[in-house]
Structure 1
């Protein structure tokens, strides 16, 4: 038996119904209008603190809901 065969874990399929149920529970448990508003304000404050100006380069890689990126774009 080769070493690579020993190190490979057995492939398992996720229980998508359980994942969906947990996601539904998480999304229905909070006031996301307040969260969205807060994230927008924080994105604006972040761009202010970083002093982003026209010509600046910004990289947003899965950094939330995109509000910080939109705030940066408005400064150009």
Structure 2
């Protein structure tokens, strides 16, 4: 059974590939669904990442990496 993780507060320029790469460092990624604005073609700023059910420590690791990545990314944009 997969765990579906909500990922919010993303930059509009974020791509599915970037999210997939980030979460893959914490474990297998089943899918990434980046929600896009049909009018602009840009990200709406949130996504859903599906990963196989894993220990809480692995999910916490993925979340901490995402927070670190967002801080670095926000400083560079």
Q: TM-score normalised by the shorter chain: which range applies? A: under 0.3
TM-score, with structure 1 as normaliser: 0.28
More strand by percentage: 2
Structure whose CA Rg is larger: 1
TM-score, with structure 2 as normaliser: 0.27
